[in-house]
Amino acid sequence: MEAEAKVLAVQLPRNPLLRDVTFWLARRHLHQRLLLCLIGGMLSAFAFAPFYLVFLLCLSYPLLMMCFHQATTQKQAFLYGWGFGFGQFFIGLLWIANAFYFQDDVPAWGGVVAVAGLSALLAVYPGLVGVGFRLFFRRRPTERQVVAAVLVFVGMWSFAEWLRGHLFTGFPWNLNGYVFGFSDALLQVTNLVGVYGLGAVVLILAFLPYLMFHFGLKTIKGGLCLALFLGGLGGLYAYGAWRLPDQTDFIKDVKLRLVQPNINQWDKWDPEKRADNFLDYLNMSRRKPEEGITHVIWPETAVIYFLDQEPSRRYLIADMLGDEGMVLTGFPRRELGRDGVSIWNSFIAIDHNGQIAGLYDKSHLVPFGEYIPDFFHLLFSLLGVEEALGGLEYSPGPGRVTQHMPGLPPFGVLICYEIIFPGAVIDEKDRPDWLLNLTNDAWYGDRTGPYQHFLQTRVRAIEEGIPIIRSAGTGISAVIDSYGQVVGQIDLNRRGVLDQYLPRKISGGTLYTHVRDVIFFIMVGSCLIGGIVLCAGRRGRRDNT
């Protein structure tokens, strides 16, 4: 009775099922609600690639907000958000555990522990959403304040996603906007608002069925929610269908050959097999004059040789090219200095004379994968166990630099992880005509990771309005046009070559390239201000009565 009395402080949903759920949640203990949030977060992870069970968001996010309403302290609200976030990140990032399989000094279960640790840290962001939400709703909202609650939730969650993508080097993986990755048309709005803005739209759409049932299907408000839901989805699709071209426009004098040898990760780094792997690349890259191939592209660290310091191997590449052409490839670059050896994860272009036509060093490195953050160096040093951090680390490059080479439109290079950062993939002072993404998704296994990584590449193409050429050692190699459409690809765990002309960029760029996240911040601010105004206005009327 006490629990029901607390619930009666709220105008109950008109839908009987939703009303029963509200009563049922009010009678649960803290740990039971926390478990529900954890399960809800785990289910929400299946809305992302490659599953795309988007309808689960219509259940999971409203459940989390209802649990926020039941929180009586900031600590409880934080725990509910943290539990949801942990479940979502753990399931969504479980592919990372596969990378530890290739570490001889890490036990089989070490990867799962690492994913759990990362998920626990990332879950702080949803936890803070719970804290902020309760600042606005210390009391359970009345029926008229439910819309305000949804607006505040959407604004806070969307801003938390943006923070996750920027703070502490950022990790914008599985943002809500990516759940529409199954449809080229539904993704097109990212050319206006970016993937963060699309994520806010996804959240609003996810809450509309909840509001529809809350107000009742036969009420005006319920009907309006249904109309907004159908109109929102229809509008997104109609805009995308209108924007997508009937056919991709290509640059006919630039024909690329992408090489995906599908070499096992163990064999790739085996010193005894490096020569064979190199010869394999050379053999797969040989062209016939009638094929018209102008440039050959190899993936990240395709050649485990210091090509900038080994002209003999460059001459072997030149001999394969013949009288014309160029190879663009990833390789490890090394320099000896006063402080020892420095090494970079790099890109090199080698022309038909064996000369170096361009270099780029990866600048946005993977924390704990390619380098150890300074804080952990200091911490482990104070503990006297710094040797536990491992051996040689990669050095960061100077940043984005547009490459200018004969026979190619200007282009930017992104190595693996660098492609996942919205609005941070090009040299803004010297805008390229296309992007080259070199990667090796063998680390990710064959489950969700490669598909999620590939999707993010497609969305970058839509946001920037420029094509992306993606070359993977194994993974998904593809030619992606300026609308994020895949015009040719080599599937995951397949060996082969892909010959394709280079697509053209969109002249003038996109709205997103000019304003970046300004529209997204307007959306977030509108949600928060709208929620505050609705909340304050309803409270004022209630107090006056």
- Distance between CA atoms of residues 88 and 302, nearest Å: 33
> Does residue 87 contact residue 39 with C-beta atoms inside 8 Å?
yes
Residue 498 DSSP code:
E
Q: Residue type at 247?
A: Q
> Does residue 468 contact residue 457 with C-beta atoms inside 8 Å?
yes
- Distance between CA atoms of residues 90 and 93, nearest Å: 5
- Distance between CA atoms of residues 456 and 75, nearest Å: 34
- Distance between CA atoms of residues 241 and 316, nearest Å: 47
Task: Please identify which of the residues 67, 161, 225, 300 carries the catalytic annotation.
Answer: 300
Q: Which residue has the tokens 């300074």?
A: 374
Q: 46-78 burial, b if ≥16 CB within 10 A, otherwise e? A: bbbbeebebebbbebbbbbbbbbbbbeeeebbb
362 as an active site residue: the answer is: yes
Name the pairing type of β-strands 496-503 and 250-260: antiparallel
Task: Retrieve residue 342's tokens.
Answer: 């420095």
Residue 432 DSSP code:
-
505 as an active site residue: the answer is: no
Which backbone phi and psi does 442 adopt, to 5 degrees?
-60, -30
Q: Residue type at 109?
A: W
Name the pairing type of β-strands 468-472 and 496-503: unpaired
535 as an active site residue: the answer is: no
> Does residue 174 contact residue 48 with C-beta atoms inside 8 Å?
yes
Task: Please identify which of the residues 37, 362, 370, 505 carries the catalytic annotation.
Answer: 362
- Distance between CA atoms of residues 201 and 241, nearest Å: 18
- Distance between CA atoms of residues 255 and 109, nearest Å: 45
Task: Please identify which of the residues 225, 416, 527, 535 carries the catalytic annotation.
Answer: 416
- Distance between CA atoms of residues 516 and 505, nearest Å: 18
Spell out the alpha helix ranges (H) of 333-419: 374-383
How many residues comprise the chain?
A: 545
Measured over the CA atoms of residue 86, residue 89, residue 95 and residue 101, the dihedral's sign is negative
Catalytic residue numbers read 300, 362, 416
